[in-house]
Amino acid sequence: MKDSPLLLRVRRELRRVADPKKAPMMQAYMKSAMPYHGVQAVLLRACCKQLFRETEFATRATWRDRVLELWRGAGYREERYVAIALTGDKRAATFQTPQVMALYEEIVVAGAWWDYVDDVASHRVGPILRDHPVPMRKKMLAWSKSGDMWKRRTSIICQLGFKDRTDLDLLYACIEPSLDSKEFFLRKAIGWALRQYAWTDPAEVKRYVRRNEDRLSPLSIREALKNV
């Protein structure tokens, strides 16, 4: 498939600011099969700001197409970071409804690594859950039982920023199917979600850990109680 004009523009801009010497180290750190240009986070954000000013989309469908042009066509990891950044463009705020969850599901499942998944889970899926709790609650419960580990992780950490608005019943229900998992990224997610809520209600987190200490992994317990 021929690269889109948007992807080519993104690639040119990333190459302009890249430090190729850093690329192998970034790739090794992220254990990525996809190479890096070598663009640091601050420069990447600046590139996105400039690139998005020149990227038009008037409808949800056009915006989705632009995101997927970058996501599916990417040959370098930073190009996928730009795709995820475009999902959060302020002009796309009204598009953030359960109708776009198929897009985020593709990113989570195909991305299958924490740098992609955690950003989408907390900054995209979470706000949709907050604004559309009824359909999204059902979807997150389904994701929590998925055979895909990254959908499970998303269901567990999507409420990271909710504080006192956290739906505890939903959080615990999303944790439950993964309590006995041996997967590092699920154990870490459980501990992270509990630790984050502990800033709001440490006593509740301690109670939860006590009730489930025979099933929670040492990693999850350690993470959950780190700041208690």
The pLDDT of residue 115 is: 97
Task: Give the pLDDT score at 27.
Answer: 98
Domain boundaries, the chain: 1-92
What does the alpha-carbon distance between residue 87 and residue 227 come to, in Å, rounded to a whole number?
32
Mean per-residue pLDDT over the chain, rounded: 97
pLDDT digits (tens, 9 = 90+) for 109-133: 999 999 999 999 999 999 999 999 9
As a whole number of angstroms, the distance between CA 157 and CA 175 comes to: 9
Q: What is the DSSP code (8-state) at residue 121?
A: I
- Give the pLDDT mean for 186-202: 98
Model pLDDT for residues 20-51, shown as the tens digit of each residue: 999 999 999 999 999 999 999 999 999 999 99
- As a whole number, mean pLDDT of residues 198-222 equals 98
With cut-offs at 50, 70 and 90, classify the pLDDT of residue 136. Answer: very high
Q: What is the pLDDT of residue 137?
A: 98
The domain made up of 1-92 has a fold known as: Leucine-rich Repeat Variant (1.25.10)
pLDDT at residue 225, as a whole number = 98
Is-above-0.85 flag for pTM?
yes
90-109 residue pLDDT tens: 999 999 999 999 999 999 99
DSSP 218: H
| pLDDT of residue 3 exceeding 90 | no
Instruction: Give the pLDDT confidence score for residue 209 in this predicted structure.
Output: 98
Q: What are phi and psi of 45, to 5 degrees?
A: -65, -40
Q: Which whole number is the average pLDDT over 121-149? A: 98
pLDDT at site 226: 96
Q: 184 falls in which pLDDT band (50, 70, 90)?
A: very high
The two tokens of residue 87 are 């999902």
Q: Does residue 68 surpass a pLDDT of 80?
A: yes
Using alpha carbons, select from 200, 206, 117, 190 the residue that is nearest to residue 163: 200
Looking at the predicted structure, is the pLDDT value of residue 2 above 90? no
Residue 193 confidence (pLDDT): 98
pLDDT at 1: 55
Type of residue found at 14: L
